[in-house]
Structure 1
Amino acid sequence: MKINEELFDYFKQVGTIKHYQKNEIIYMQDDCADELCLVLKGRVRVYHIKKNGDEINYDVLDKGRIFGESSLYENAYRPTTVSAINDVEIITCHLQDLYPYLSSSLDLTISLLKMLNDNCNHLTQLLKWAQTYNRYEKVAAFLYDLSKDNNKEKNLLFGRIPYTHQEIADSLAISRVTVTKVLNQFKEEGLIDIQYGHIQVLERQKLYNHYLAKLD
């Protein structure tokens, strides 16, 4: 779910535009959650840092996506860390400053509610993958999901997924060695091609039929 550009003006009127460079931290988990953020340009990574320093990716967000929704709750703290993947421009604003516009714009209110619903569904999906899928099903579901639609902002085009083995491992909370073994198996089956810095999904429907159809 993305915020329609026609609604950006509401955020611009009450918020502050900020810029971040590649790999710069936007906020850390456990920070006080006092601002909502809208991506205007670039991509950000949402992830959790475990006590041992390992990172678990939750999502990659691009233009029109909102993050920091924990600020919708009083006295809340950030459950995740967010950093810039490339040069990023965002708007940060306090929810109370948006209240007058929420009461006057049904589109803005519906967009925020849909965003919360989509985020909940995404986290539910990640939990399902983690708890019920084996290693082959996890990686297959990840590739199948990301290759669903073309997305120029995320550089997801024609089944090309710009993730390294390590990034897939971080996203699925499994080891890089496991991911590499699974990807090599998929390649042997002719389902994907492995190239430097990205995976090319060649047979998306077959990937689903072989590994995911039985799970529905």
Structure 2
Amino acid sequence: MDKVKYLSRINLFHDLDIKELQQMESITPITVTKKGTLITSPSRSQERLYLIKKGKVRMYTISNSGKELTIDVLNSGNIFGEISLFSPGFHHMYAIAIEDSVICSIEKNQFEQIIMEKPDIALKLITILSSRLKEMEKMMEQIAYGSVRSKLLFLLNRLSDKFGEPLKENGDESEWIQIGVMVTHQELASMMGSIRETVTELLNDLISEVMVNRTSTRVFFTIHRTRLKKASEDSIYSREIQPLLYNLSLIRLNNALDNPILKFAYYR
């Protein structure tokens, strides 16, 4: 797929005409990124917006105890780097390729110029910012209040929502969903700030409870949609804390809107 066609499929740029997309093409260099490559980190300059053309990228932060905590797993057509780009003081996110990936990027000042000319892009970006911040609050919720089991249930649900492919049973969709991304027990443990042995033990429990199927330590997991979601809902702490976390998301979004470029486009 040529880059102009690819750019047109990114939600942010749906409304750009062919000439504008061609201009975008000239300012978005492509990088082929090998699996395991660290793309962004707090110690690196956060002055670019990244667009995933192909592959998958894991977004994570590191806790005070040194554990990696996954915020999101993104595939082709998604963007990242927007929070650090427009939220002052928010620079503790890492991005790593979890498979060989092809990534475009655009410098902050060039992207801000596009926003000034196309305010609709700013509105879409604000929507993405809001969604990403809510995802972060969900992860904070699990870190602060969830058991290791609830973290695993949460992660498997997240992966199935993003990469799930319903399996067929007698020609019809079944309740079983195949997660279309291959992960080891160690990778799952890293995603949730745990250890491999604990993840293996919990997965065996979920298999005995007929919520998860797998045939080896490195496969496409299959999960039972209804059973897994119910178990996840049952394991979440008191709902009384959720409004507080939601309010925190709004505060962070408002901080992002303090960026003069986004504010200009939003109120234009």
TM bucket, shorter chain: 0.7 to 0.9
Shift of 1:115: 1.5
Distance in structure 1 (CA, Å) of the matches to 2:228 and 2:105: 40
Quote the residue 2:255 is aligned against: none
Seen in structure 2, the aligned counterparts of structure 1 residues 64 and 33 have a Cα distance that, compared at 3 Å, is same
Distance in structure 2 (CA, Å) of the matches to 1:182 and 1:124: 24
Distance in structure 2 (CA, Å) of the matches to 1:54 and 1:214: 22
Aligned: 1:58 with 2:76: no
- Could you tell me which amino acid in structure 2 is paired with residue 134 of structure 1? S
SS of the residue corresponding to residue 45 of structure 2 reads coil
Aligned: 1:160 with 2:170: no
Quote the residue 2:36 is aligned against: 23
Shift of 1:54: 5.0
Shift of 1:121: 0.7
Quote the residue 1:139 is aligned against: 152
For structure 2, the 5+ residue unaligned runs are: 1-8, 167-176, 240-268
SS of the residue corresponding to residue 56 of structure 1 reads strand
Quote the residue 1:205 is aligned against: 226
The share of aligned pairs that are identical, in percent, is 25
Larger Rg: 2
Shift of 1:73: 4.9
Equivalent of residue 189 in structure 2, options 169, 184, 194: 169
Asked if the contact 1:140/1:212 (under 8 Å) is kept, the reply is no
Quote the residue 2:248 is aligned against: none
Equivalent of residue 41 in structure 1, options 42, 54, 58: 54
**Partner deviation per Cα, 1:112-156 (whole Å, 9 max, x = no partner):** 11111111011101111111122222212222232235x4xxxx3
Equivalent of residue 95 in structure 2, options 59, 76, 82: 82
Seen in structure 2, the aligned counterparts of structure 1 residues 17 and 50 have a Cα distance that, compared at 3 Å, is same
- Could you tell me which amino acid in structure 2 is paired with residue 208 of structure 1? K
Equivalent of residue 211 in structure 2, options 168, 171, 191: 191
Equivalent of residue 72 in structure 1, options 72, 86, 99: 86
Asked if the contact 2:188/2:199 (under 8 Å) is kept, the reply is yes
Shift of 1:77: 7.6
Asked if the contact 1:169/1:176 (under 8 Å) is kept, the reply is yes
TM-score computed with the length of structure 1 as normaliser: 0.81
Asked if the contact 2:46/2:91 (under 8 Å) is kept, the reply is yes
Quote the residue 1:107 is aligned against: 120
Task: Report the count of equivalent residues.
Answer: 208
**Partner deviation per Cα, 1:158-184 (whole Å, 9 max, x = no partner):** 222332211221111122222111111
- Could you tell me which amino acid in structure 1 is paired with residue 189 of structure 2? A
For structure 1, the 5+ residue unaligned runs are: none
SS of the residue corresponding to residue 165 of structure 2 reads coil
Asked if the contact 2:61/2:71 (under 8 Å) is kept, the reply is yes
Asked if the contact 1:32/1:77 (under 8 Å) is kept, the reply is no
Q: Which runs of 4+ in 1 moved over 6 A?
A: 50-53
**Partner deviation per Cα, 1:30-76 (whole Å, 9 max, x = no partner):** 112111111112222223456887533332222221112212356x6
